[in-house]
Amino acid sequence: MTTEVIPTDGAVDPGPAPPPAVKGMTLRAARWRRNGTSLLMMAPFAVLFGVFVIYPLVKSLYLSFTNYRGIKPPVWIGLENYTSLFGDERFRKAMLNTFLYVAGSVTLTTIMALIVAMAFRGQSWLHRTVRVLFFLPSVTSAIALNLIWKWIFSPEDYGMANQFVGLFGVDRVEWLSTPSLAVPVLVFMGVWGGIGYGMVIFVAGLNAIPEEYYESARMDGATPWQQFTKITLPLLRPVTAYVVITGLIGAFQIFEAVFIIFFRSAGVIGGLHDSALMIVPYLYDQGFGHFYLGRASAIAWVLLVIIFVISMIHLRITRANRDLT
């Protein structure tokens, strides 16, 4: 162990606000004196973060290269879990469904949230009430919401969706067992539930744009559309990037809706013909339905890479990275 002694001849620049070093005190002791309290206060968080975040992450990365079924020790199999995934028809279906869902729900949620935010950005009683109403799904239990949706899309005549389409003379629809409707139904639910959150962020972004820009534009004869496209949208770019990226991450992780609404029986996940199978439900199916925990870990890492890559691409495209920093 090396023991450095702080020179006392004044040759070292003390830098900004150094602690009053005691003559002859070791550098290590001085550092401890300066940072010890902070480190001790951080320690509980650091321990919990290490145990519950870092360790599981590293362990799941290791498990993704093993054949691990939960009880017997894992057996190293290299990349086999990853290579087998891409030959797996169900995984490909889950990927396709997830990408369709993400594209549909994130695009529509962002557009709708912006529209609602622009319509109800004021401080009047009406605007505030409408914003609260739109935000309610974000603070309601996902389980409760999905159970209600399941009821709404019930195939019987009393299902609210069937009653609604019945008003237009449309015959009863088996919403949840018609494969072509599965992803659109999930997108509809996702958009309904996500508008409120995006709206709140957009309202904050809109209200941060100085009114003078619009006044100046109006004086120059800019139309409302020109004001929107030349002022609002560019200045909302960082906010939009945030809404889109958080939306992407959330959409890729869709689970409860598939698990609850398209539940057919224990051990069968993903709806009729896997029409609603998504990546996370498939991960659950492989990990906790069939106990392929190594394979499930590989799916989790594939999902992480997909989200990371898409988020990076989005940030680059919108050039929002610079704006955000």
Q: Does the footprint of other proteins cover residue 230 (CB under 8 A)?
A: no
H/E/C letters for each residue in 148-207? HHHHHCCCCCCCHHHHHHHCCCCCCCCHHHCHHHHHHHHHHHHHHHHHHHHHHHHHHHHH
Interatomic CA distance for residues 238 and 176, integer angstroms: 37
**HSE-up of 178 (CA within 13 Å, CB side)?**
11
Span interacting with other proteins, options 209-217, 243-251, 283-291, 301-309, rule CB under 8 A: 283-291
Span interacting with other proteins, options 56-64, 119-127, 150-158, 249-257, rule CB under 8 A: 150-158
The amino acid at 23:
K
Q: Does the footprint of other proteins cover residue 239 (CB under 8 A)?
A: no
Q: Which of 5, 22, 47, 132 binds other proteins (CB under 8 A)?
A: 47
Interatomic CA distance for residues 273 and 180, integer angstroms: 10
Q: Which of 27, 42, 51, 233 binds other proteins (CB under 8 A)?
A: 51
Q: Which is nearer to other proteins, 89 or 220 (CB)?
A: 89
| DSSP assigned state of 16 | S
Q: Does the footprint of other proteins cover residue 74 (CB under 8 A)?
A: no
Q: Does the footprint of other proteins cover residue 5 (CB under 8 A)?
A: no
Number of CB atoms found within 10 A of residue 69's CB:
14
Torsion of CA 34, 40, 42, 48, to 10 degrees: 150
Q: Does the footprint of other proteins cover residue 58 (CB under 8 A)?
A: no
Q: Which of 167, 266, 322, 325 binds other proteins (CB under 8 A)?
A: 266
Tokens 């619009």: give the residue.
Answer: 214
Q: Which of 70, 122, 224, 234 binds other proteins (CB under 8 A)?
A: 70
Q: Does the footprint of other proteins cover residue 69 (CB under 8 A)?
A: yes
# of chain residues touching other proteins (CB under 8 A): 37
Interatomic CA distance for residues 66 and 170, integer angstroms: 52
Q: Does the footprint of other proteins cover residue 75 (CB under 8 A)?
A: no
Q: Does the footprint of other proteins cover residue 90 (CB under 8 A)?
A: yes
Structure tokens at 232: 């609002």
Q: What b-and-e string marks burial along 3-26, b requiring 16 or more CB atoms within 10 Å of the CB?
A: eeeeeeeeeeeeeeeeeebeeebe
Span interacting with other proteins, options 76-84, 101-109, 233-241, 268-276, rule CB under 8 A: 268-276
Query: Alpha carbon of 172 to those of 32, 77, 152, 155: distances in Å?
Result: 72, 50, 13, 7
Q: Does the footprint of other proteins cover residue 56 (CB under 8 A)?
A: no
Span interacting with other proteins, options 162-170, 207-215, 220-228, 270-278, rule CB under 8 A: 270-278
Q: Which is nearer to other proteins, 76 or 308 (CB)?
A: 76
Residues that bind other proteins (CB under 8 A): 28-29, 32, 36, 43, 47, 51, 69-72, 89-90, 150, 154-156, 174-177, 179, 263-269, 272-274, 285, 288-291
